[in-house]
Amino acid sequence: MSDEIKITKSAIYIFGIILLIVIAGFFIFKNSKNLSNNTINNSYGETQKVVIGIKNYNYYPNTIKVEAGKPVSISLDKSVVGCYRGFTIRELGLAKYLATPEDTLEFTPTKKGTYVFACSMGMGRGTLIIE
């Protein structure tokens, strides 16, 4: 008598789904580092601290105003989950996965203007106004 292991179609599907989730997670965490070295730490002046949450499936507040030339520190509160923790401001070359409320994205804006911020998948969006 030979012992045979029967593999059902549902087991193959489940394995495939788990494999896809692992691969997607790898790419999300791999790209969670800053996309650019444009982050400037300025010890002069007071840091502008911004805490963002989630309301109605979008960042809240979704319009943020900061001053050019002063350091900015952005963090996400505990209401933010999933891909919304992958915070990006593509036009400024900034992206970081903020895993906990203690994690911050820090930079010093030098160019005035209006910029879009979004989650890593582009689902949640907002506007950063640098004055």
Domain that holds residue 80: 48-130
Alpha-carbon gap, residue 37 to 39, rounded angstroms: 5
The total number of structural domains in the chain stands at: 1
> What's the CATH code of the domain at 120?
2.60.40.420
User: Within a domain: residue 15?
Assistant: no
pLDDT tens readout for residues 68-101: 999 999 999 999 999 999 999 999 999 999 999 9
pTM attached to this predicted model: 0.65
- Residue 26 resides in a domain: no
Residue 82 gets the label, from left (phi > 0), alpha (psi -120 to 50) or beta, of left
Q: What is the pLDDT of residues 34-57, one digit of tens each?
A: 333 333 334 455 999 999 999 998
- 25 assigned to some structural domain: no
Task: Look at residue 7 and tell me if it is in a domain.
Answer: no
